[in-house]
């Protein structure tokens, strides 16, 4: 009987520790700095791209379709840019924001609905 009681206590403490670790990880994940904001998402005719002021002025911005083909590339992206989606097909698109050395600062996805 003592064995099962000890085992139950140990499992409870172990699971409580896992729960705390996950809450710390979730807090760290939510505090990640985002440099770019997209809206509306999903989009139909256009999508707005906003960069934070802390972003370097000589950043580049690329959009790829889901097959990996580059659809657009913008150099020296302005703080607020509107991208016309009239030539885009319906689907998921991947974006990448790169600094002047070519390092990917942020990436993500947005959806085009038509």
Predicted pLDDT at 68? 93
1 versus 62: the higher-pLDDT residue is 62
Same domain, 5 and 59: no
Same domain, 90 and 78: yes
40 versus 5: the higher-pLDDT residue is 40
CATH of residue 68: 2.60.40.10
**What is the distance between the alpha carbons of residues 114 and 111, in angstroms, rounded to a whole number?**
10
**In terms of residue numbers, what domain contains 13?**
1-32
**What is the distance between the alpha carbons of residues 55 and 61, in angstroms, rounded to a whole number?**
12
In which band, very low, low, confident or very high, does the pLDDT at 5 lie, cut at 50, 70 and 90? low
Q: Which two tokens stand for residue 31?
A: 């505090």
| Overall average pLDDT of the 8-18 stretch | 58
């Amino acid at each position: 009987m003592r064995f099962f009681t000890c085992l139950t206590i140990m499992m409870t403490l172990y699971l409580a520790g896992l729960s705390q670790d996950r809450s710390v990880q979730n807090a760290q994940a939510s505090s990640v700095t985002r440099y770019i904001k997209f809206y509306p998402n999903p989009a139909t005719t256009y999508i707005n791209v906003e960069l934070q002021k802390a972003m370097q002025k000589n950043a580049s911005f690329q959009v790829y379709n889901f097959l990996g083909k580059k659809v657009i590339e913008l150099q020296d992206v302005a703080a607020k840019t509107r991208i016309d989606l009239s030539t885009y097909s319906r689907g998921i698109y991947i974006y990448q924001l790169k600094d002047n050395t070519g390092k990917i600062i942020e990436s993500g996805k947005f959806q085009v609905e038509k």
